[in-house]
Chain A
């Protein structure tokens, strides 16, 4: 009796647990499954920093302005027009009068104010949105449909910030009703899709907002629009491709390049490679540790790296080679950096012998000569790491890498390429951003891989200002600081571009980074999905434009 009842109880628990999962409502068709590749820890765009949250939520919220994905130009969103004062310190927005939130709350200047209050309140601990507002000090509600934002100093990236989902405008009614921990489950915006439910770790469901009639110029309603989208978390890359082939997911990003190559022969699947603006896959070189403290050595390392081979073998030619600190689709990208360091082993070797690396050991690794003087370093940035005296030992570099973005494979390929010029590399892989940051703080690396995304070139500040929070090159230079600071305050686009051109040139002249490839998000979708397009930041789909070709399933 005991054995049987134990078995029955087990089965009962099992069935009960399974049944609890089937809460899916009868939502309008056509319905698709969208595969997310990461599970964000929090889904609140005002408070959390994940890029993945924007994939669904970009279409739940509207923003005051939008950026046209084709031209990058700012176009009206919830604001029908705006005016920037001559000193660049006040922005006045005239708001649309015909917009309502999904819960029926009318959209107006007070709603924008409530959102700004929430984002800027330090108690709410915003991880990203707050910092995107830069030197914002306050706002003035001029009338029901006019609001003025006030800055303490000019801040050129503001419009780009306001065009992003992190500054999407939420219903003040909902914000008042829920607290910081619970709002993410009850998000209400004015966008083309409404949020139906969010079950952490399992799914997030959106359904079309039938009232939506205030989209930006590049939102177009397709024939047979997709009505319901279920987002699920496909964190394991092989599962992504297999699920796409079996039809369990209809669109998914970050397909592995090798899988994409295989899928390109499948007529039922279409590939959408999207270049992502921001920084390329790059290694930051530690300018305060031997031997990368020497400019000549840093230059030799770039020259000794065969980026074409990396792009070909690891990225299957889906990614362009990167030459500078910004990808080619980023605002103010300076194309002239492309000529600085071609692949040239002979030149790399010549540079290395010029600084004294001439002897090789039995394995062909260069020996660190005795009596070698470290290159004089610039003004100290943070804690100085003493340049290790490894005279008489084989030349060995330490490379710290995260596990994502095929960086481990890239690191291995570089390791074998540099072996040819006589440099040994020790690769240290860490688990995530936190662990990477700890390694950076320790400072015992020569190269460390990290890059951020964003359309506005101001993202260089964190990495290259002397006091930048991510100045992992530990480089400190008044000239570079001036270019970056001036660019951040400059509101004239042409002059701003010139500052960034100078900054990019300086970064490459000093060989602060080893750029590898421009990031390309390889999206795959069933051929029955139409209108697949992405926004100006590259990551976020324009779900409004998604349509479905009907046919038998």
Chain B
């Protein structure tokens, strides 16, 4: 177990280092930055802009800037926004809560919905409940979030006046955005659930269970589901990336604050320290979630544990 933890920690560190270095290089090699753009719009001369960039350490050679960035990163300091001069840590901190609640609510909905759709598809195909589940699954995978999002606002808020479309402040405000985002994340989960269930159902041990005379619900819940879970867990972990990307659009459509909005604006404004900060955060989140999924795998699948112990 310790070796496992140590390996995972090392992988996490490597991932974060790799992602942030790549992001650092790409961002610095692109011409232009937030300071230049804003000052130019204000009417500043090129000489004034150069002086300002120099004052912020942007005229130093790239390797020096990189070492400075890494040393700060090790200390947990993500630097300052070019535009507002606020610490990036504070900017991320302000927005983190809103994104965590959106992402976790969406993930919660996605897991329930994805499992349900996948199971219905696997068990009821080709009867009508299976057909409907399959159609919803395709919609979740294929339709863009902004389309379903706008449609959801139009139906549930403007026409039916059931739910508020925009704003934050109460769990009610979370329902529509988390529902829409969760619906799209559910697509992949449903597909993997369906495939995995079908595969396990055909396994010899299931036939044995039937032969022993177990009730089919018993077989499904205590044998088939448990055995089909590892790939489902993997896809849930992999969906974190999609989930983080999806928050960008969801936050915009539903007028919510959050990391997605922060990132989108930082990219367009070329406020690079903020972009880098969010990349580091995303790399950490992704690594942590996948580590948790691996641990989950071990708990669910005794074969993996035994293989490691031997």
- Are B270 and A434 in contact, CB atoms less than 8 angstroms apart? yes
CB contact under 8 A between A181 and B43, given known A10-B108, A13-B101, A239-B165: no
Q: Is B255 an interface position by the 8 A CB rule?
A: yes
Q: Is A470 an interface position by the 8 A CB rule?
A: yes
The A/B interface has a contact count, at CB < 8 Å, of: 182
Chain A 526-542 residues near chain B, CB threshold 8 A: none
- Are A18 and B171 in contact, CB atoms less than 8 angstroms apart? yes
| B157 → A minimal CB distance (Å) | 5
Chain A 202-260 residues near chain B, CB threshold 8 A: 202, 232-236, 238-239, 242-243, 245-246, 248-249
| A370 → B minimal CB distance (Å) | 36
- Are B268 and A232 in contact, CB atoms less than 8 angstroms apart? no
- Are A432 and B43 in contact, CB atoms less than 8 angstroms apart? no
A131: chain B residues at CB < 8 Å are 42-44
Q: How far is the CA of A432 from the CA of B271 in the complex (A)?
A: 12
Q: How far is the CA of A238 from the CA of B153 in the complex (A)?
A: 10
B85: chain A residues at CB < 8 Å are 125, 180-181
Q: Is B94 an interface position by the 8 A CB rule?
A: yes
Q: Is B261 an interface position by the 8 A CB rule?
A: yes
In the complex, identify which listed stretch (B26-34, B118-126, B204-212, B233-241) lies at the interface while the others stay far away: B26-34
Q: Is B52 an interface position by the 8 A CB rule?
A: yes
- Are A13 and B269 in contact, CB atoms less than 8 angstroms apart? no
Q: Is A86 an interface position by the 8 A CB rule?
A: no
- Are B86 and A243 in contact, CB atoms less than 8 angstroms apart? no
Q: How far is the CA of A327 from the CA of B268 in the complex (A)?
A: 27
B252: chain A residues at CB < 8 Å are 235-236
Contacting residue for A18 out of B39, B161, B170, B271, CB 8 A:
B170
Chain A 9-45 residues near chain B, CB threshold 8 A: 10-11, 13-15, 17-18, 20-22, 24, 39, 41-42, 44
| A32 → B minimal CB distance (Å) | 14
CB-defined interface of B54-68 with A at 8 Å, one 1/0 digit per residue? 010000000000000
| B53 → A minimal CB distance (Å) | 10
B153: chain A residues at CB < 8 Å are 238-239, 242-243
- Are A202 and B257 in contact, CB atoms less than 8 angstroms apart? yes
CB contact under 8 A between A236 and B253, given known A13-B100, A434-B269, A435-B32: yes
| A438 → B minimal CB distance (Å) | 5
- Are A202 and B37 in contact, CB atoms less than 8 angstroms apart? no
Q: Is B168 an interface position by the 8 A CB rule?
A: yes
Q: Is A372 an interface position by the 8 A CB rule?
A: no
B268: chain A residues at CB < 8 Å are 431-432, 434
CB contact under 8 A between A242 and B51, given known A14-B105, A17-B97: no
Question: Which residue, of B33, B97, B258, B267, has the highest number of chain A Cβ atoms within 10 A?
Answer: B97
Q: Is B220 an interface position by the 8 A CB rule?
A: no
B169: chain A residues at CB < 8 Å are 18, 21-22, 24
Contacting residue for B165 out of A248, A431, A433, CB 8 A:
A248
| A268 → B minimal CB distance (Å) | 12
Q: How far is the CA of A309 from the CA of B223 in the complex (A)?
A: 67
Q: Is A350 an interface position by the 8 A CB rule?
A: no
Q: How far is the CA of A127 from the CA of B82 in the complex (A)?
A: 11
CB contact under 8 A between A469 and B40, given known A200-B94, A242-B157: yes
B310: chain A residues at CB < 8 Å are none
CB contact under 8 A between A17 and B101, given known A239-B153, A469-B45: yes
B258: chain A residues at CB < 8 Å are 201
B101: chain A residues at CB < 8 Å are 13-14, 17-18
Contacting residue for B146 out of A202, A236, A469, CB 8 A:
A236
- Are B150 and A243 in contact, CB atoms less than 8 angstroms apart? no
CB-defined interface of B95-112 with A at 8 Å, one 1/0 digit per residue? 101101100110010000
Q: Is B158 an interface position by the 8 A CB rule?
A: yes
CB-defined interface of A86-108 with B at 8 Å, one 1/0 digit per residue? 00000000000000000000000
A22: chain B residues at CB < 8 Å are 169-170
CB-defined interface of B265-279 with A at 8 Å, one 1/0 digit per residue? 111111100000000
- Are A130 and B51 in contact, CB atoms less than 8 angstroms apart? no
Q: Is A59 an interface position by the 8 A CB rule?
A: no
Chain A 124-158 residues near chain B, CB threshold 8 A: 125-132
Contacting residue for B42 out of A11, A39, A126, A246, CB 8 A:
A126
- For B271, give the chain A residue with the smallest CB separation: A41
| A497 → B minimal CB distance (Å) | 22
Q: Is A75 an interface position by the 8 A CB rule?
A: no
Q: Is B218 an interface position by the 8 A CB rule?
A: no
Q: Is A184 an interface position by the 8 A CB rule?
A: yes
- Are B42 and A127 in contact, CB atoms less than 8 angstroms apart? yes
B87: chain A residues at CB < 8 Å are 181
- Are A184 and B84 in contact, CB atoms less than 8 angstroms apart? yes
Q: Is A122 an interface position by the 8 A CB rule?
A: yes
- For A124, give the chain B residue with the smallest CB separation: B85
Q: How far is the CA of A190 from the CA of B83 in the complex (A)?
A: 26
Q: Is A462 an interface position by the 8 A CB rule?
A: yes
| A443 → B minimal CB distance (Å) | 13
Q: How far is the CA of A437 from the CA of B94 in the complex (A)?
A: 31
Q: Is B201 an interface position by the 8 A CB rule?
A: no
- For B56, give the chain A residue with the smallest CB separation: A125
- Are A201 and B261 in contact, CB atoms less than 8 angstroms apart? yes
CB contact under 8 A between A246 and B94, given known A10-B108, A18-B174, A41-B84: no
Q: Is A358 an interface position by the 8 A CB rule?
A: no
Q: Is A49 an interface position by the 8 A CB rule?
A: yes
Q: Is B38 an interface position by the 8 A CB rule?
A: yes
A18: chain B residues at CB < 8 Å are 101, 168-171, 173-174
- Are B168 and A202 in contact, CB atoms less than 8 angstroms apart? yes
Q: Is A510 an interface position by the 8 A CB rule?
A: no
Q: How far is the CA of A449 from the CA of B133 in the complex (A)?
A: 47
Question: Which residue, of A42, A182, A201, A437, has the highest number of chain B Cβ atoms within 10 A?
Answer: A201
A48: chain B residues at CB < 8 Å are 38, 83-84
- Are A234 and B166 in contact, CB atoms less than 8 angstroms apart? yes
A39: chain B residues at CB < 8 Å are 261, 265
Contacting residue for A127 out of B39, B168, B170, B265, CB 8 A:
B39
Q: Is B217 an interface position by the 8 A CB rule?
A: no
B95: chain A residues at CB < 8 Å are 200-201
Q: How far is the CA of A14 from the CA of B170 in the complex (A)?
A: 10
Q: How far is the CA of A243 from the CA of B108 in the complex (A)?
A: 27
A42: chain B residues at CB < 8 Å are 83-84
| A155 → B minimal CB distance (Å) | 12
| B163 → A minimal CB distance (Å) | 10
- Beyond the given A239-B253, A242-B154, could you list 13 further A-B residue pairs with CB under 8 A, ordered by the A residue number? A14-B108, A14-B174, A18-B171, A21-B97, A48-B38, A127-B38, A127-B39, A235-B255, A242-B150, A437-B40, A469-B40, A469-B44, A469-B45
23 A-B pairs in the complex with CB atoms less than 8 angstroms apart: A11-B108, A14-B101, A14-B171, A17-B98, A22-B169, A41-B84, A125-B85, A128-B42, A131-B42, A132-B42, A181-B85, A181-B86, A182-B86, A201-B258, A233-B261, A239-B150, A242-B158, A242-B165, A248-B165, A432-B268, A434-B37, A452-B41, A469-B40
Interface residues of B (CB under 8 A from A): 30-46, 48, 51-52, 55, 80-81, 83-87, 91, 94-95, 97-98, 100-101, 104-105, 108, 146, 150, 153-154, 157-158, 161, 164-171, 173-174, 252-258, 261-262, 265-271
